[in-house]
Chain A
Amino acid sequence: MTAVEALGPLARARGDAVVVTTMSAVRPWAELSDHPLDFASADSAMGHAADLALGIALARPRRRVFCVNGDGSMLMTLGTLVTIAAAGASNLLLVVLQNGVYEVTGNQPVPGAGQVDYPAMARAAGFPTARSFADAASYAEALPAVLAAPGPTCISLSVAHGGEQPLSRGAGERAAYLRPSLAESARALRRALAGR
């Protein structure tokens, strides 16, 4: 499945959810969405997008939060699976894009690529709903039911890697949500969540 095939159904289903992206998903997501509740975990803490999303989910329990993570990032902070489940963040959807590489640093292989079963880890950590998809059509068809199931929810999508370049922030970025600084983006997200 391509990145667009992975992200497209999420963009159509997000409604008023907060969407936190990181690494190779950041720019492709901006091709599909330009929403005040989009937040790029970029120029930030490596591997901690899911922790950030968890914080937002706990602070805004009535709002759904999507985190579009990568397998490399997920592997850095596997303990977060337990933290999410233990916190009972039922409004959190954790998406793991399994492309098998650290794409933005040059496609170095992720340890265990093709072998690690992230949904199984999520279930073992206490996620009530965890699914894997390798086929774009079956994923798109199943997503509404997956989103309706009890959360927190983890889905793993097997995607082909591309050639995304390292992330940066600034006026020259084509992704609109990468143009402000991290502090400005955080303030904008807080304003959007407060309805201001």
Chain B
Amino acid sequence: MLVQNTGLLESGDAIRGTVVRMKVPLVCLVTYRGYAGLAAAGSGTGPAAQERNDLVRSDIDSAAILTEPTLQAWRIPYRLLHDDADRTLVREAFALADRRQQPVAVLLAGPTTP
């Protein structure tokens, strides 16, 4: 599945109810919108960003803040792919999804070659 992180958030109940419950070995390649701007804005994806309520800051993409915590809450394993050198993560994600019969996400956090 190729999806932007906003679409991933939108598909939560379908992933919970169908993909996980059916034990579908689905690999989600997720484009990580907003990731690049988090560090520059002094924010992140951890609890501190939640405590500061960075979700309401107009200079930060809140989709980026919530992507990883949401995957953690859904108990979906994920890896960050920063550039082409990390492309072996995709093959590893397929192997993990097959082995565990569950969804696995690869977050495309940096520039990659199509």
Contacts and interface: CB of A to CB of B under 8 A. Distances in A.
A188 B17 CA distance: 18
Nearest to A186: B22
Nearest to A169: B21
A48 B17 CA distance: 10
A16 B68 CA distance: 44
Nearest to B17: A45
Interface residues of A, number: 11
A182 B13 contact: no
Interface residues of B, number: 9
Contacts of A46: 13, 17
A115 interface: no
B23 interface: yes
Nearest to A51: B14
Contacts of B50: none
A173 interface: no
Contacts of A44: 17-18, 21-22
Interface string B13-32: 11011100111100000000
Interface in A181-196: 181-183, 186
Contacts of B13: 45-46
Interface string A143-174: 00000000000000000000000000000000
A46 B12 CA distance: 11
Nearest to B14: A45
Interface in B1-48: 13-14, 16-18, 21-24
Given A182-B21, A183-B21, 4 more contacts: A46-B13, A46-B17, A48-B17, A48-B18
Interface of B: 13-14, 16-18, 21-24
Interface of A: 43-46, 48, 51-52, 181-183, 186
Shortest 10 CB-CB distances between A and B: which pairs?
A45-B17, A45-B14, A182-B21, A183-B23, A45-B18, A186-B22, A44-B17, A183-B22, A44-B18, A182-B22
